[in-house]
Structure 1
Amino acid sequence: MKYLILLKSNPEWAAAFASFTPEQQAEGMALYESVFRELGSRASSSTPSSSPAPRP
């Protein structure tokens, strides 16, 4: 997840993404959403529901 956040917050990446065709942008966003869902399902399945997450 850290790397996706870094890519999205990088101005150079934003400019590169803007230069993609609409089809390339759609493909990239579909991949991003797929990875985001996968990470979310892994996080929810690895966290016990009976105990709260530790606080920093």
Structure 2
Amino acid sequence: MNGKNLFNFGPVLGYYFRKHDPNRKSNFNMKTMHFINKLSLAMFLICLVVMFVRYILPALTR
């Protein structure tokens, strides 16, 4: 693994913001799984922002 692939967030963003595919069958379990995945990813990103604001930002202003 090289450094170029380490910060390749294209597949993650593609999953998070993709459009509905009308050719793919959908059921309750798949909808629930995708909702939980998107919710957990959003919560993780919010926590990263909160950690940045609480710990790193005050250290930079000293």
| Normalised-by-shorter TM-score class | 0.5 to 0.7
2:31 partner SS = helix
2:50 matches 1:44: yes
What TM-score, normalized by structure 1, do the two folds share? Answer: 0.56
Structure 2 residue runs of 5 or longer lacking an equivalent are 1-11
Identity level (%): 5
Aligned length: 44
Task: Please list the CA deviations of residues 2-52 of structure 1 after superposition, one character each: whole Å capped at 9, or x if unmatched.
Answer: 8123x2xx3xxx135x7311111001100110010011001111124877x
CA RMSD of aligned residues (A): 2.9
Q: Distance in 2 between matches of 1:23 and 1:35?
A: 18
Q: Distance in 2 between matches of 1:46 and 1:38?
A: 12
Structure 1 residue runs of 5 or longer lacking an equivalent are 52-56
Q: Which has the larger radius of gyration?
A: 2
2:17 matches 1:15: no
